[in-house]
Structure 1
Amino acid sequence: MNLRAFIKLSRIEHGVLTSLIVVASYIIAGGRSAIAMALLFLASLLTEIFLFATNDIFNVEEDRVNRPDAPIVSGEVSIREAWALSLLSVVIAVLLNVLGIAMRYLMDWSIVILALAIFLGFFYNYGLKRVIIVNNVLVAITSSLTFLYGLYAVSSIPPTLNLPYLLFIVSFLATMGRELVKGALDVAGDARAGVKTMANVYGIRTAVIMAVAFTLLAVAVSPLIIISSRGFPGIILSIGVVITDAMLLYISIVVLTRPNYMSRFRTLALGAMSITIIAYLLFALLLIL
């Protein structure tokens, strides 16, 4: 497997961003150990590689229609190579977390969050992606657990409601909206592979309306983040949330009136969420400076 094929299969850029979010939550929760940050970063990155690789392994039929340039479909990576990469990644990820707990750099609850992300993500890839609504919920939970992983690495008991929890809730709602639109865009490939989505069972219009509803719920909850991050450097996170909300409101209105806007909705929704994520990372960085 060459480097180009590895990057395409593992979607390593997503893994790096996910790992940075985990480290940010760790810092915001009060963690300051550089070793703990390194362990969390690597465990998160390797878990993402595992999930993306197994997704491609079990997603070949859909990818033949929706992603013909996917590395397994195009022949750049064999199934055997993909399995080797995914299994090696997840084993090392778990071992790093266990090592961190044994050395008391990470709290016990961190392995619970990591295991939850691994199992939910894997069983989504294995077959639950074909179950209507369950598929969207699993993606939204798994991707949003990044905000909790670093948080639970600091606390020996489940923490009370705070910024990472609020980001988890908003991320879950916004991701649900984005995933529903993704299903509307991938109707042909999903139907061919037996994947049931709101779009191919109840119609594209229904899926879009539900997507907008979840997106607007995310916007409605987001002011709690602003309330919880008052003062400096919290103002940076608040500005990021306001910009994100404005973008999400705009694309929600437009997608209801322009059916051909779904592709842009999906792209701009990710861009909007990225603004809050960047602000979250800057917030964490300023806390340690």
Structure 2
Amino acid sequence: MTVGETGRGMLELMRPVNVIAASVLTFIGAFVAGGVGEEPVAVVAAVAATGLAVGAGNAINDYFDREIDRINQPERAIPRGAVSPRGALVFSVVLFAGAVALALTLPVRAIAIAAINLLALIAYTEVFKGLPGLGNALVAYLVGSTFLFGAAAVGEIGPAVVLFVLAGTATLTREIIKDVEDIEGDREEGLNTLPIAIGERRALVVAAVLLVLAVVASPVPFLRGEFGIAYLLVVVPADAVMLAAAYESFEDPTVGQSRLKYGMFLASLAFIVGRAALDVSLTV
């Protein structure tokens, strides 16, 4: 195996798209809290720490999941031999160390969130992944908490709490759909995921109900007067995309969970637009 192939394999272990996405979510949390202009160094540290932690979590997940991936995802770096299991583990430790070093430069509240999240990332595959619903809920918390982490980095988490709840609920929906997609390999490994425990269709119904609850709650920032009409103009199409994705997952879980991710990003954009419009109105 060449050095170039190993390097590409390590990059794949990190899941660059996920790293960038999580980093952006942390930035959004800081932006919604109104601290990007006031605490730029803290924002950069929080964004970088998030990226390294997510990359480390993905790498160690692939290390623990290597036997499942030989069935579900044989093209991934470890099953195809681009990176050895030991190499993936060492790479993950290095990334975790970088994330910790950056997180320690932030306020105490942000450090506490980072500590909880790092422990959760490490424990996910070995402890929670095979427990019906609990593994999904942990992933949902981790995604939603990136907004809280970004807000805590600039000293104020209040404005990001609703975003945390909405993102967590939408992510829980997506994780359940992904488990339906991966049910064959999970059965081979003896995991007891939600679709295996209660059936694929029932699991999809649970996912759809959760998403409907998130959509119903999405106007809360507007109703509370935190954001104006600009927020609604973006969040309503995002809601439509997510609901359509949940419906489509009954026919094709792979397509459904992929499109749901786009709806989630659009919903995050709604909070950016809402905060930007608020800042403009305050300066007029």
TM-score over 0.5 (shorter chain): yes
Asked if the contact 1:24–1:284 (Cα under 8 Å) also holds between the matched residues in 2, the reply is: no
**Structure 2 matches for 1:245-264, cutoff 5 A?**
245-255=239-249, 259-264=250-255
Q: Percent identity?
A: 27
> Per-residue deviation at 1:29?
1.5
Q: CA deviation at 1:202?
A: 1.6
8 Å contact from structure 1 (residues 47, 90) kept in 2:
yes
Pair 1:269 & 2:252 matched = no
1:80: Cα distance to partner? 1.9
How large is the RMSD of aligned CA atoms in angstroms?
A: 2.1
**Match runs of 1:58-207 below 5 Å:** 58-98=64-104, 100=105, 106-155=106-155, 159-160=157-158, 162=159, 164-207=160-203
Gaps of 5+ in 2: none
Q: Is the 8 A contact 2:248 2:255 kept in 1?
A: no
Is contact 1:11–1:49 with CA below 8 Å preserved after alignment? Answer: yes
TM-score of the pair, normalised by structure 2: 0.89
1:25 aligns with 2:33: no
Aligned partner of 2:215 in structure 1 is 219
Kindly report structure 1 stretches of 4+ aligned residues shifted beyond 6 Å: none
CA contact (8 A) 1:64 1:73 kept: yes
Cα 1:79–1:107, aligned 2, differ >3 Å: closer, same or farther?
same
Q: Quickly say closer, same or farther: Cα 1:96–1:188, change in 2 above 3 A.
A: same
Between the two proteins, the alignment pairs up a number of residues equal to 273
Distance 1:122 1:50 in 2: 9
TM-score under structure 1 length normalisation: 0.87
Q: Give 1:262's aligned amino acid.
A: P
Residue in structure 1 matched with residue 227 of structure 2 by the alignment: 230
SS of the equivalent of 1:278 reads helix
Runs (5+) with no aligned partner, structure 1: 101-105
Q: 1:150 to 1:81 in 2, by over 3 A?
A: same
Q: 1:285 to 1:94 in 2, by over 3 A?
A: farther
Q: Conserved in 2, the CA contact under 8 Å of 1:198 and 1:206?
A: no
For residue 73 of structure 1, give the secondary structure of its aligned residue in structure 2. coil
User: Is 2:227–2:275's contact at 8 Å kept on the other side of the alignment?
Assistant: no
Q: Identify which of 47, 52, 58 aligns with 1:46.
A: 52
